[in-house]
């Protein structure tokens, strides 16, 4: 009886109590991940127009030009033109400050990019995505409200499109084609409403010459995608539109692209709905201090259609036996080669690259010379020691661009043109003339000597947020060859170690094991000898 009691008490003291202590504390920690705060937001209710535009007399008449539609809009919506004209959607530039450079006015209007080099000089093609009519050259009047294109953002009929190569104008009765018919302005204007994904997407999905070419995380699949592709925009769940997050007041749409903006203001953030501590878990929430939400929650982008990751201009301009431009498709049917543009590499389901980023960026300016190769078309600022910087997922688009070997500058190319013989590269395939014309139009010097140089542009990824179950796991980064293996300047548990301590530590373990085994062996030998002697 006493013996049983001793055994029971011993068991209690030796195993059950210690185990229970660990169990209780682990459960205490575990319970903190069990509940989750609801997302604190009110989703935008379906917009119901307060008026029926089809009853307005001003929208019944014949519209000879789209500019007349704009006049009709502004006859009721007074002052809206002033709002629009103050936005970067209209100006294509902003005054901003770049750390180390001071105040500067930059935007799509004057910056080089890593795709078709630059918009200015290629107006007929690029300015199709301007929210105006007819920015075909420098004579465009930014003060004339009639030049505003209200319909491209407010059309609800999906019948209004700007025509290719017309600097923002839709087709007219004279130049209409099957793909681009002249719009029925009465029908379109009588059915206007708030911008939908389709409206934003017509430019933001197709920038760079095709669907998903530029962003990788913004493309037409988002119009109707699964929960796995994007938890917010999925038609299976919230079916949110762009402006649900990109809150808009007085036509100023919040958010801006990092590739053309420098200051960390007017951003759209996850926190505006989810707060900065959404996990109900201290350890995960702590990561928010230095890891962007996007890093874990967007493990891959270009989930449906491919995006361009490499664009080599240097092979452009080759013509077939008949002297005509040609193209070669890759296995997925995307262009692998175009005479007009060179070689591409497309990819889908891409794991982002990861960089420190504090929300501010630098850009290659027209006045800059090449100081490093690859040339950074934009530079994301931030590092570990900068407490405002976080680790971000980034699409890096790399390529080769033309540069002036004497002036050591990236070249603006004259690409788009209406006719052969005027020097546009896409018509005449002559590098030197295209460079000369592009640089001249942008008022930059061009020596006539050129080569090609590697360039890259950094696009932080924000869309295509994956379901919670797809978010990165701890060990995706906290491991020796994890996703952050190339991010330097800080100690990451699981990834980093002191080689010296590892060698000493493992050495001591091996030594002690060896000593223990040897000692035990000698004891066994000694004991058996003694038994034998006694035997």
Does 8 bind other proteins (CB under 8 A)? Our answer is no
Helix (H, G, I), strand (E, B) or coil at 213: coil
Length of the chain: 535
Q: 282-321 burial by CB neighbour count: b if 16+ within 10 A, else e?
A: eebeebbeebbbbbbbbbbbbbbbbbbbbbbbbebbeeee
Least distance CB 424 / other proteins (angstroms): 52
Q: Among residues 327 and 521, whose Cβ is nearest to other proteins?
A: 521
Does 518 bind other proteins (CB under 8 A)? Our answer is no
> DSSP assignment, residue 55?
G
Check: CB of residue 33 under 8 Å from CB of residue 281. Answer: yes
Residues ≥6 apart with Cβ < 8 Å to 394: 352, 353, 354, 355, 357, 380, 458, 459, 460, 461
Q: Map residues 22-41 to x or -, x wherever contact with other proteins holds by CB under 8 A.
A: x--xx-xxx-----------
Among 146, 290, 335, 440, binds other proteins (CB under 8 A): 290
Q: Map residues 414-453 to x or -, x wherever contact with other proteins holds by CB under 8 A.
A: ----------------------------------------
Does 289 bind other proteins (CB under 8 A)? Our answer is yes
Among 154, 215, 444, 495, binds other proteins (CB under 8 A): 495
Least distance CB 477 / other proteins (angstroms): 10
CA atoms within 13 A on the CB side of 76: 10
| Listed ranges 58-66, 297-305, 336-344, 507-515: which one lies at the site for other proteins (CB under 8 A) | 507-515
Token pair of 416, please?
Answer: 């788009």
Torsion of CA 221, 224, 229, 232, to 10 degrees: 120
Does 276 bind other proteins (CB under 8 A)? Our answer is no
Q: Among residues 27 and 75, whose Cβ is nearest to other proteins?
A: 27
Torsional sign, CA 375, 366, 341, 221: positive
Q: 230-266 burial by CB neighbour count: b if 16+ within 10 A, else e?
A: bbbbbeeeeebbbbbbeeeeebebbbbbbbbbbbeee
Question: Which residue's entry shows tokens 């009886």?
Answer: 1
What distance in Å separates the CA atoms of residue 381 and residue 123, rounded to the nearest whole number?
Answer: 31
Token pair of 200, please?
Answer: 């934003």
Contacting other proteins within 170-199 (CB under 8 A): none
Does 515 bind other proteins (CB under 8 A)? Our answer is yes
The 3 state secondary structure assigned to 385-415 is CCCCCEEEEEEEEEEEEEEECCCCEECCCCC
Does 521 bind other proteins (CB under 8 A)? Our answer is no
| Listed ranges 138-146, 217-225, 334-342, 509-517: which one lies at the site for other proteins (CB under 8 A) | 509-517
Q: How many positions of this chain bind other proteins (CB under 8 A)? A: 56
CA atoms within 13 A on the CB side of 122: 30
Q: Among residues 6 and 49, whose Cβ is nearest to other proteins?
A: 6
Contacting other proteins within 453-482 (CB under 8 A): 473-475, 478-480
Rounded to 5 degrees, φ, ψ at 396 are -105, 120
| Listed ranges 94-102, 160-168, 229-237, 510-518: which one lies at the site for other proteins (CB under 8 A) | 510-518
Does 523 bind other proteins (CB under 8 A)? Our answer is yes
What distance in Å separates the CA atoms of residue 237 and residue 477, rounded to the nearest whole number?
Answer: 30
Among 143, 421, 491, 532, binds other proteins (CB under 8 A): 491
Q: Among residues 161 and 490, whose Cβ is nearest to other proteins?
A: 490
Among 86, 265, 365, 504, binds other proteins (CB under 8 A): 504
Token pair of 160, please?
Answer: 């209004």
Among 8, 15, 319, 406, binds other proteins (CB under 8 A): 15
Least distance CB 360 / other proteins (angstroms): 18
Among 276, 448, 451, 505, binds other proteins (CB under 8 A): 505
| Listed ranges 19-27, 37-45, 216-224, 353-361: which one lies at the site for other proteins (CB under 8 A) | 19-27
Q: Among residues 86 and 518, whose Cβ is nearest to other proteins?
A: 518
Check: CB of residue 364 under 8 Å from CB of residue 378. Answer: yes
Contacting other proteins within 355-414 (CB under 8 A): 384-385, 387
Alpha helices in 175-312 (DSSP H): 185-189, 197-204, 242-245, 271-274, 282-287, 293-297
Among 18, 71, 100, 377, binds other proteins (CB under 8 A): 18
> Judging by beta carbons within 10 Å of its beta carbon (0-12, 13-18, 19+), is residue 511 exposed, middle or buried?
exposed
Query: Would you tell me which residues interact with other proteins (CB under 8 A)?
Result: 6-7, 9-10, 13-15, 17-19, 21-22, 25-26, 28-30, 283, 286, 289-290, 384-385, 387, 473-475, 478-480, 490-491, 493-498, 501-502, 504-506, 508-509, 512-513, 515-516, 519-520, 522-523, 526-527, 530
């Amino acid at each position: 009886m006493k013996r049983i009691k001793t055994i029971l008490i011993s068991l209690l003291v030796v195993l059950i109590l210690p185990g229970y202590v660990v169990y209780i504390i682990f459960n205490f920690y575990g319970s903190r991940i069990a509940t989750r705060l609801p997302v604190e937001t009110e989703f935008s209710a379906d917009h119901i127009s307060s008026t029926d535009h089809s009853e307005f007399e001003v929208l019944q008449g014949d519209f000879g030009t789209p500019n007349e539609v704009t006049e009709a809009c502004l006859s009721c919506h007074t002052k809206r033109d002033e709002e629009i004209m103050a936005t970067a959607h209209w100006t294509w530039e902003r005054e901003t400050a770049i750390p180390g450079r001071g105040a500067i006015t930059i935007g799509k209007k004057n910056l080089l990019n890593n795709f078709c080099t630059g918009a200015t000089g290629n107006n007929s093609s690029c300015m199709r995505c301007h929210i105006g009519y007819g920015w075909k050259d420098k004579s465009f009047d930014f003060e004339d409200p009639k030049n505003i294109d209200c319909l491209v953002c407010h059309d609800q009929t999906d019948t209004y499109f700007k025509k290719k190569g017309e600097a923002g104008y839709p087709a007219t009765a004279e130049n209409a084609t099957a793909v681009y018919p002249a719009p029925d302005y009465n029908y379109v204007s009588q059915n206007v409403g708030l911008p939908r994904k389709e409206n934003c997407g017509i430019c933001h999905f197709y920038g760079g010459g095709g669907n998903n070419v530029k962003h990788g995380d913004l493309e037409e699949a988002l119009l109707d995608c699964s929960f796995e592709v994007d938890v917010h925009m999925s038609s299976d769940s919230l079916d949110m539109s762009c402006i649900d997050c990109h809150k808009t007041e007085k036509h100023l749409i919040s958010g801006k692209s990092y590739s053309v903006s420098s200051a960390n203001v007017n951003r759209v953030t996850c926190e505006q709905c989810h707060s900065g501590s959404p996990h109900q878990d201290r350890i995960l929430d702590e990561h928010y201090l230095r890891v962007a939400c996007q890093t874990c929650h967007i493990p891959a982008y270009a989930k449906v259609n491919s995006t361009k990751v490499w664009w080599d201009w240097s092979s452009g301009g080759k013509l077939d036996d008949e002297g005509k431009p040609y193209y070669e498709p890759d296995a997925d049917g995307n262009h692998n080669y175009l005479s007009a543009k060179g070689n591409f590499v497309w990819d889908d389901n891409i794991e982002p690259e990861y960089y420190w980023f504090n929300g501010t960026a630098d850009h290659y300016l027209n006045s800059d010379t090449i100081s490093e190769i690859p040339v950074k078309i934009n530079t994301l600022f931030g590092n570990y020691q900068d407490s405002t910087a976080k680790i971000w997922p980034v699409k890096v688009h790399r390529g080769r661009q033309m540069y002036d070997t004497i002036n050591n500058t990236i070249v603006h190319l004259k690409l788009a043109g209406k006719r052969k013989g005027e020097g546009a590269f896409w018509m005449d395939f002559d590098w030197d003339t295209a460079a000369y014309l592009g640089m001249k139009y942008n008022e930059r010097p061009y020596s006539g000597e050129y080569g090609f140089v590697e360039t890259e542009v950094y696009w932080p990824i924000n869309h295509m947020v994956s379901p919670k179950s797809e978010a990165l796991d701890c060990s995706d980064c906290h491991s020796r060859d994890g996703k952050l293996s190339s991010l330097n300047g800080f100690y990451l548990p699981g990834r980093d170690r002191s080689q010296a301590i590892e060698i000493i530590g493992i050495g001591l373990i091996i030594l002690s094991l060896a000593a223990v085994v040897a000692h035990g062996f000698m004891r066994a030998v000694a004991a058996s000898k003694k038994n034998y002697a006694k035997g």
